[in-house]
Structure 1
């Protein structure tokens, strides 16, 4: 019985990760969305997984890494098909190839982390949505609307503030630093929005007596 349950969970997780990776790969080749592809993919996977923030971060990280690997493979395949790769490597010094490998590794690690953050956020959003659906009709949707608007406002402020700060800090060292500032700001904005919404939703439930022991 336990073995069959594990197999079912494994198949479900594989489907969820595959769905997240598919969305992430498509997003990675779209303007603007490409900067948030691992974050979006990890969030989708964890939302489908419905297994809590810790599990969400884990499957999100796997999704982010999968997006990184597949997009790299597609890019390399296109380059080979167009003849852009061939004698190119012969004219590049070993240190150049080593640097390129280090940059790719850093990029893959960053996308894995972004996927994990997106996964944790997606799991929290799913849990809050499920809790709200369970209590729908008992207090109306006004408080939920206020929580959504408030969390989006905080997330937008965090996105702009962190994005600009990172862009300015890296400007002397990285060009264009905006390509780093935007995704980092996006991660900060998503985390801020999800946390604020979760706190407001939890306080709302506590005020209704639903978060207290023995509450019906």
Structure 2
């Protein structure tokens, strides 16, 4: 942009006007102009010295015009070079931008491929593990043991056996009760008949009273009391 601005000024641009050769020629032209003015005041137009000074002034002005054009052309060339360099830089920038966009697309595709690779690796590891297990199972010695049925947990505990204990308790309780009753009967027998009374007392039975027709018999359930 700076080179374009300098080239836009043409021969009146700052770079052209501040060139060393142009400034030197301007100084010489100013001095020669002053000299020609002095000679014009003192000498006539056909005087050789005045004509020589005017010729030198014209030559300096032509040289100034040439140098100004050269400097302006140099500025234009520099501006063109800068524009060309700018175009190249823009082309390189666009190329790099396209490359970055392409890399971004490749990166996204790479991420998808990486996920596919991870999934395939996980599946491969699973298959390899199962293959190792099957290989170990195939190398293990075979036996004639066959599973017939699957054991089921029992509904009731195996110990203690409550029904058996109850039955055993009933049997033992009955036996103990019968033994106790028998022992009490042997230790202290009860009188239930006349013969039993004679045996227990060691004397004969003289008589007996029947309550079969009385009120007491109905209360005693028809039993005879001696």
TM over 0.5, yes or no? no
TM-score norm. by structure 1 comes to 0.29
Which has more helix, going by share of residues? 1
| Bigger relative CO (Cα 8 Å, ≥ 6 apart) | 1
TM-score norm. by structure 2 comes to 0.28
